[in-house]
Chain A
Amino acid sequence: MNEKDFIEIDIEEIEPIELSDWEKINIEKSVLRSSSTKKYVFKKWKWVSIVAMLTFIFTSSSIWLPVVANRVPIVQQLLNNNDNPQLQVFSDNASIINQIDESNGTSIELAEAFFDGTIVSVSYEMKHEQSIDEPPLFWKGDLEVNGNKLDVLSHQIVKKNEATWIGMFTARISDKVMDEKVNVQWRPQDFIGMENTTLVEGAWDFQLELTPTRAYSRKVNIPFGNDQYQLFYNQITEGKYITTLYFEGNLDWETEFLMVDIKDNLGNVYENVGTTTIKSGSGRVNGYFEVFIPDSTIRTLIITPTIRIVDEKTLERKELVPLPSINISLK
């Protein structure tokens, strides 16, 4: 198909494609965010995906799988129509925790947790005394591993009933692979909604020890980009749960974002892959992005980068600069 073929598309003959609830939420948030004149303050690390550019995203790609739901009491109550196999890994490897703590009439049960050598992931259920209509997406308080505070990378929550929400969050422990047990402390205080309103007040405390599954890490030097954007991958970490590709290069952290479209040698397409970057110098960034590799026979990732240039104030897109695809071999 070429451009003229597209012009001849008869829009009255188009059959709609199903849009997931998640996609709908992201569109809505992106529209409202773009329309807003509010200035959003990013943390030092900036996680961005094509949807996160315009909305404050609160989850990575879906992680629940109905096949394993029966074996995972809390997870089984979550999304039951998503076939993302990442949950199978979570289910197969997660430790059952079942710690319950109550504060101010609200109980939280930390159900299961999993550590793949670089990433920790925790599922929980929160029961409140009254209904909570707005997603309690954020919390005050700390998540610590071995005494180091972590930022949550992704957080998914689902409403079970009027007063109960179920969630799972993931945090990166280290850029390096860890092969020893870690001590995790999660001490949430006050859950907050998208509009920065406190939805649930309280203070909870969980402590657990997690043993990692085996992960691999290797330094690489794989350039990509073009004359203007000279970047390279410098490390690849492969765990059961997440494969992480680290990169660095010359990008303006404020206005130029690396986006990636990823396929593999089996034809799988990885959707909603966000990149996280940190400014490492004038016009330079370090960053990484993560994908779940669903099949151990997958040998190659085909990564097509695009630089998205945005308006510094509104974050609205000004230009997309496609860069050449590059193949990355896995272990």
Chain B
Amino acid sequence: MYSLINQLQKKDEQALREVINKYGGYVKAIVVKVLQPNQTAIEECINDVFLTIWQKSIQFTGDEIDFNKWIGVIAKYKAIDTYRSLQNKPKTVELLSSISNSKDLPERIVEQKVQKEQLFISILNLSKNDQEIFLLKYYLGYSNGEIAEIFGLSKSAVENRLYRGKLKLTEELGGI
């Protein structure tokens, strides 16, 4: 694996510095696109993105290109979440209750207290298309119909992907 990621996963502060140096401008560009001109929110969000990267890099698997995308998705959705909070929109993160309603999930997972951040990172381990659908559904609270409209899919296709993604997430979260 990309050695910088290895070092980051070992909580090497020099690696953190290099990651900020290498990806900071990319993260800032994404965050600025969403939160401009709110400087306070931009800085807050950039810090939050790198805190997530630092704390959750251990769960990243992939190469350098994947890492770049992983960071980009974190930045994009953290920024949208911040944007939403600034618009006073409710934060809808009902993945747990949604999972608990699923017949496919074992009780032990339903009973597991899983944090929003963990779910966010777990969702990032799904395939790219499913990942965005899940983030929209469970991180930002979009309805299946709205997601279908955004991606140009039928509602049943979205439901199908959500179903398959949940199975994968079950495996992910089962290991917690």
Q: Are A7 and B136 interface neighbours, CB within 8 A?
A: yes
Total A-B pairs in contact (CB under 8 Å)?
120
Assuming A24-B20, A261-B39, is B75 touching A320 (CB within 8 A)?
no
Interface residues of A in 16-66 (CB under 8 A from B): 16-19, 23-24, 26-28, 30-32, 34-35, 50-51, 53-54
Residues of chain A within 8 A (CB-CB) of B132 are: 7
How distant is the Cα of A35 from the Cα of B73 in the complex, in angstroms? 22
In the complex the two chains form, what is the Cα distance from A30 to B47 in whole Å?
Answer: 7
Q: Please judge, given known A-B contacts A306-B40, A320-B85, whether A9 and B51 are in contact too, CB under 8 Å.
A: no
Which residues of A sit under 8 angstroms from B88, Cβ to Cβ? 322
Question: Which residue in A15, A54, A304 is a CB contact (below 8 Å) of B29?
Answer: A15
Encoded as 1 (CB less than 8 Å from any A CB) or 0, chain B from 19 to 54 comes to 011001110111011100111110110111011001
Q: Is the CB of A11 within 8 A of B80?
A: no
B29 x A17 contact (CB < 8 A): yes
Whether B25 lies near A17 (C-beta < 8 A) is yes
Interface residue tally of chain B, by bracket? Answer: 35 or more
CB distance from A262 to the nearest CB of B (A): 9
User: For the complex, what is the distance from the CA of A31 to the CA of B80, rounded to whole Å?
Assistant: 20
Residue in contact with A23 in the complex, picked from B24, B29, B44, B55, CB distance below 8 Å: B24
A320 CB contact (under 8 Å) in B39, B41, B76, B80:
B41
Q: B150 interface residue, CB < 8 Å from A? A: yes
How far, in angstroms, from A4 to B149 measured CA to CA in the complex? 10
A6 to B29, CA, bound (A): 13
Q: Are A14 and B33 in contact (CB under 8 A)?
A: yes
Q: Is the CB of B86 within 8 A of A322?
A: yes
Set of chain B residues within 8 Å of A51, measured between Cβ atoms: 43, 47
Subset of 26 A-B contacts with CB under 8 Å: A3-B84, A6-B34, A11-B69, A11-B75, A14-B33, A16-B24, A16-B25, A16-B28, A17-B29, A19-B25, A27-B20, A27-B24, A28-B17, A28-B50, A30-B47, A30-B50, A31-B51, A32-B13, A35-B51, A51-B47, A261-B37, A263-B37, A272-B43, A306-B40, A320-B44, A322-B86
Beyond known contacts A12-B72, A26-B43, A320-B86: 7 more, CB 8 A cutoff: A3-B80, A9-B30, A28-B20, A32-B13, A263-B37, A272-B39, A320-B85
